[in-house]
Amino acid sequence: MVSRAPEAGPESSTIYSMDKNAAVEQGLFTNNPGGGMASDHEEGKDDETLVTWSGPDDPTNPLNWARRKKWVCTWIIALFAFVSPMSSTMLAPALSTIAKELHITNSMEQALVMSIFLLAYAIGPFLLGPLSEIYGRVVILQSSNIVYLIFNTLCGFAQSKEQILAFRFLNGGMLSDCWRKEERGKAIAIYSLAPFIGPVVGPIAGGYIAQYTSWRWIFWATSIFDAAIQIGSFIFLSETYAPKILAVKAKRLRRETGNPHLHTQWETPDRTLAQILRKNLVRPLIMLSTQPAIQVLGLYRAYLYGLMYLVLATFPLVWEQAYHFSPGTASLHYIALGVGFIIGLQICAPLNDRTYCALKKRYSHDGRPEFRIPLMVPGGLLVPVGIFIYGWSTHYRTHWIVPDIGCAIFAMGLIIGFQCVQSYVVDAYSIGLLALPAS
């Protein structure tokens, strides 16, 4: 008799999470004596009503998709990840204009117009991540994006500070399901780059949009771009979450065969919707409060993210007041960060996978999450070096290229650190906490 398998748990900062090793542990396949994976027929020796993959080469398994299809999904997800951070900083050049038109006199409220977006952006994953494990990745991703699209568009029609603050809060707020561990570094590198490029592109685009049109078009232009991504996701994005795919398969087989006993290992009589919601919504909080690795890496990511926004906030002061550039020209210096992010991506993406494979071979192991960590050392050193060059050169008014170089080095360290942390968390927690109590 087949025992009930543990439910899949959320990964830290992306919605998508699963690999074939996790699938083995979860019982989507079972290990056979020959070292391979059992098919439906072999599983049927224990429970003929259990619905699983038809074999290790089942084309409906996202791990077996063609690389082209995997990359289409990766790029669509990366574009979704690009839009939100871009929206968070795009208002920066137009804050004074918005404050004047909407009669926002308090400097704290002015800053809140831009930063309140991040509050919902931080809260969202605690709800959306678990829900994606109940209803599937795609439906949650698309539904949450529609909410963002609606309220971001409404921001462009705001007539008071209360309206724009409310709309900004509400509009604030998938990968290893289909990539194997040895392939995952490059895909995660591209996904990780998007949230960093967004805050770079946002202020530049926002500055010129506000200069030649109106600050309201900052929101409307973002909504048009996001709507195009949404349409692309409707056409090209497929479900990658294994339990959801198998649940649909089981439902179809029950209808075709008339056998009501067909089920996946997640479909058991004692599981109610309330129980599922309670367990999945509580799991992220349990992981954050009980897993030291999540706590330490979460604090490190928060530290890096805080440094990034601190540097972004100093740009108008440095380039407009210290170097006396016009607002449009000053915004172009955000490109230095983008250059650093891209260089860091080109360094870390291939080295992450190569290091992982080299350590697997060296230790004769099938792979550990810790094999993603070594590159964090040089990445961690680049961050303070870049900030020092940026601050020192600005203080002594050196040539403008020197603080730009410091920003680029700083950005390289950021992207390397984020990629390594992201890869580690996905590898270590792809099946989440096991056997969490229902209450």
User: In this predicted model, what pLDDT tens digit does every residue of 111-139 receive, in sequence order?
Assistant: 777 777 767 766 776 677 667 777 888 88
Q: Which two tokens stand for residue 135?
A: 């209803």
| Phi-psi group of 7: left, alpha or beta (phi > 0 → left; psi -120 to 50 → alpha; rest → beta) | beta
Q: Which of 173-177, 198-202, 274-278 has the lowest mean pLDDT?
A: 173-177
CATH 1.20.1250.20 fits 20-428, yes or no: yes
Q: Which two tokens stand for residue 128?
A: 């959306």
Whether this prediction's pTM lies above 0.85 is answered by no
Looking up tokens 């994953």, which residue turns up?
125
Helix 67-89 with 107-135: angle, nearest 10 deg: 160
pLDDT band at 418 (very low <50, low <70, confident <90, very high): confident
Q: Which two tokens stand for residue 224?
A: 């048009």
Q: Which residue has the higher pLDDT, 411 or 72?
A: 411
Q: Which of 32-36, 273-277, 290-294 has the lowest mean pLDDT?
A: 32-36
Q: Which two tokens stand for residue 401?
A: 């290229």
User: In this predicted model, what pLDDT tens digit does every residue of 187-221 receive, in sequence order?
Assistant: 666 666 677 778 788 888 887 787 788 888 888 98
Residue-range domain boundaries for the chain: 20-428
CA distances from 241 to 176, 197, 436 (A): 10, 27, 20
Could you tell me which residues are beta bridge partners of residue 31?
A: 37
The pLDDT score that the predictor gives to residue 188 is 67
416, 376 contact by CB (below 8 A) = yes
What's the DSSP call for residue 12?
S
327, 92 contact by CB (below 8 A) = no
Look at residue 343 and tell me whether its pLDDT is greater than 50. yes
- 3-state SS of the chain: helix, strand, coil percent to 5? 70, 0, 30
Look at residue 415 and tell me whether its pLDDT is greater than 80. yes
Q: Which residue has the higher pLDDT, 7 or 297?
A: 297
